[in-house]
A and B are shown apart, each in its own frame.
Chain A
Amino acid sequence: MARPTLRWQFARSPGLLYGLAATFCAIALGLALLAQRYDFLDMEAPLFLLAIALTVWYMGIGPAILAVVLSSLAFDYFFTEPRYSFYITRAELPHYAVFILFAVLVSWFSEVRHRAEQKLLQSRDELQMEVVKRTEQASLLNLTHDTIFVRDMSDIITYWNRGAEELYGWPAEDAIGKHSQQLLRTDFPIPIEEVRAELLRAGRWEGELRKTKADGSEVVVASRWSLRKDDQGRAVAILETNNDITEHRRREQEIQSLNQELVHRSADLEAINKELEAFAYSVSHDLRAPLRHMAGYTELLQKKTSSVLDEKGNHFIAMILDAAKRMGNLIDDLLAFSRIGRAETQNGRVNMDQVVKEALTQVRQETEGRKIAWKIGALPDFYGDASMLRLVLVNLISNAIKFTRTRTQAEIEIGGSEGNGDDVVVFVRDNGVGFDMKYVNKLFGVFQRLHQSEEFEGTGIGLATVQRIIHRHGGKVWAEGAVDGGATFYFSAPRPRGELWRP
């Protein structure tokens, strides 16, 4: 920033300055001679002094010395007796000496005065600069959304930014001059003496405070205090920055209470699971025992009476045994189904090509005497439990084998595809009897069957098991089919993390 100066700007070159000094003296001389000519007495000394004063004021001490010298010589030559000679009479000497003394004094005072003024101007400039700087800083502080205010060591607010106004509701003019703790009704988590001690010791303090807004509502703020010290190291002010974390705290509390609820519910669930387990155990034990007895005694009866019973009687006994056997199967399936929900899973990368191979080995018995064209494509790897996924495939393949029984040439295709997001899909397709899409929702229910048991045997637990396993994997099952047009069963499950699958 250009600093204003009393000295002429154009007179920077010393030659010009000295020239001007000489010119001032010449003008003063000219005017003095003119005055003398018109009988204005004793004008020469003031005029020369004026020239010297102007010179020292505007051109500094160097040209002033020249002006003093020139004025003295001119005064001597033109205005002291004998005139037009540099000789000075004894009588004129004091007069001349006084003149020179005056000239020097004028120069000296003028210079001192000039310096003082210069200094004053300079400090005024500096003050102005400081004001500008501070104003800029203050307006920058106003720009931020953070709440910032400054208070002196007796907690009287001296600065209050826009963020503070927005958060607490008081405009700067209302807040400044107030006691901050009283205005904001600050609630400290620890005694304020400790806060102060920490602030004075470390120069800063951080903590969570509860304050009250102008409208009376409470806010929780993350508060940071910084101590400002002067050049002598004395603490003069505290800058406090506050961030409103009321919402944050509220959410945290919400999360905490949700977590608690979750823990609670988990415990409930665990209890329910335990109950279910006890129930399944009891079913396994207590339901099977009477069944076994019924079957046992019926067989004994059959053995003892088959020779005396007629065909109908024997048929009835056979039906009782058949029903007992079926109920036994149902109980076993139901238990197996309930175990899926309770079983511990061992999740990891599952090579589905391998799983399909194993599943096919497991169902080989069911394909005996059948003509089946297998079409097995490349399958994606899954993330899950291998033995459970094998059970899924065994069920689906077994179904495909069962429901293509009426075909002379059965076709079963197993393939994979990319699913949504992190899922990959495997499907099992057959050209069997299919199903009516109307009943697609019933397919995966427990003990739901779409065929008469004389047609196709089964308890109706297979697809429910498939669904349960896939749901445990976080995947989906769905099916497409048409009556007599074959069926396709799809299931999706997560791929191993961070992998893409391309067939």
Chain B
Amino acid sequence: METMNKLGRILMVEDDPKDVELTLTALEEYNLANEVVVTRDGEQALDYLFCRGQYKMRSGENPAVMLLDLKLPKLDGLEVLKQVKSNETLRMIPVVVLTSSKEERDMVASYKLGVNAYVVKPVNFHEFVNAIKELGVFWAVINEPPPGSIRK
């Protein structure tokens, strides 16, 4: 597929395996799933971003977009967001908060920390698929990522 060549790497931070599966399924449908890196908690996500721990050996490029759940084990999403946005090189990564929560305070806190988009996961699956697809297409395909991001 044409878009494949331009596909950026997507970093997904999601603890719920079912959400991971559903998201990957949704992305697969649009051939966006191949370059998805899944981390299961905040600490792992930061390990990936800072190339440490199990990700010590990875090449240092930043993902084209990060899909971030807020409710995570160990470090929660807002803490991850805070660390990312306060780091000189990581702050350029577009971060999309993808969460179940419609809570206003989460939304406000996220925007205050500099989130690029805030998406509430719809209960309805095809709406969810649409949302994921649009997110994937926009951030991983259409959007020109900042220098230093992985693009295939």
Contact = CB atoms under 8 A, between A and B. Distances in A.
Contacts of B102: 284, 332, 335
Contact of B16 (A289, A297, A324): A289
A288 B100 contact: yes
Contacts of B103: 280-281, 284
B121 A292 contact: yes
A295 B125 contact: yes
A281 B16 CA distance: 17
A285 B16 CA distance: 12
B125 A296 contact: yes
Given A289-B19, A292-B123, A292-B125, A300 B100 contact: no
Interface residues of A, number: 23
B1 to A, nearest CB: 21
A293 interface: yes
Interface string A267-291: 0000000000000110011101101
Given A289-B16, A300-B25, A281 B126 contact: no
A203 interface: no
Contact of B101 (A285, A291, A292, A325): A285
Interface in B99-125: 99-104, 121-125
A84 B119 CA distance: 153
B22 A285 contact: no
A325 B125 contact: no
B30 interface: no
A328 interface: yes
Contacts of A300: 22, 25, 125
Nearest to A343: B104
A36 B52 CA distance: 161
Contacts of A284: 100-103
**Residue with the highest number of chain A CB atoms closer than 10 Å, among B22, B99, B101, B125:** B125
A36 to B, nearest CB: 137
A332 B103 CA distance: 11
B126 A292 contact: no
B50 interface: no
Contacts of B125: 292, 295-296, 298-300
A281 B101 contact: yes
Interface in B35-89: 71
A275 to B, nearest CB: 15
Contacts of B16: 289, 293
A286 B71 CA distance: 9
Contacts of A335: 102
Interface string A309-348: 0000000000000001101100010010001000000000
A325 B71 contact: no
Nearest to B70: A285
Given A285-B71, A289-B16, A289-B19, A295 B100 contact: no
A288 B123 contact: yes
B100 A293 contact: no
19 contacts: A284-B100, A284-B101, A284-B102, A285-B71, A285-B101, A288-B100, A288-B121, A289-B18, A289-B19, A289-B100, A291-B123, A292-B100, A292-B128, A293-B19, A293-B22, A296-B22, A299-B125, A325-B123, A328-B123
